Amino acid sequence: ILLASTGLRASEACKLRLEDIDFEERRLIVRCGKWGKERKVGIGDGLLQALHRYLAVRPNLKPLDLLLRNGIDYPVDRGGLYQRLQKLGRRVNVTVSPHALRRAFVTINVKNGVPLVYLQIACGHQEITTTRSYCQTSEEEVVEAMKT
């Protein structure tokens, strides 16, 4: 839910600390973005609820602790995150990866009318062409959209 709702890179999600989540302002701070850039990303209702449920089963997390933990309470790294997503995907017969969720984030938000430039900022892309390349829009969707 975290990756699909925010467009975070796997490495950014793995470096996210509890203190990086601002529940009042409903945003999280990506402090370790690509090229060392920091950015803020909004937290929607679904992610907010998921974070509260997650923290309920991780009551001992301290502000400086990394958010994503495994079953024995060690931080999850990029490889561990990838493996966990693959395992979940196999359960439902879907190929999934952190990057696929990032692309889905862009595609879904474009279809919901979010301006591409907003998504560029949310994803931390330097070039809007990168953000555009993430959007998985079919030719048929373009045809249907142009009919209205």
How far is 65 from 112, CA to CA, in rounded Å? 34
- 15, 90, 111, 134: the active-site residue: 134
Residue 27 bears catalytic tag = no
Which residues, other chains included, contact 65 with Cβ-Cβ below 8 Å and sequence gap of 6+?
17, 18
Residue 134 bears catalytic tag = yes
How far is 99 from 104, CA to CA, in rounded Å? 8
Residue 52 bears catalytic tag = no
Residue 40 bears catalytic tag = no
Angle at 23 between CA 7 and CA 60, to 5 degrees: 100
- 99, 111, 118, 132: the active-site residue: 99
Longest pairwise C-alpha distance within the chain: 54
- 34, 58, 78, 84: the active-site residue: 34
Could you tell me what percentage of the chain is helix, strand and coil, using 3-state DSSP and rounding each to the nearest 5? 55, 10, 35
Residue 9 bears catalytic tag = yes
Give catalytic residues, as residue numbers. 9, 34, 99, 102, 125, 134
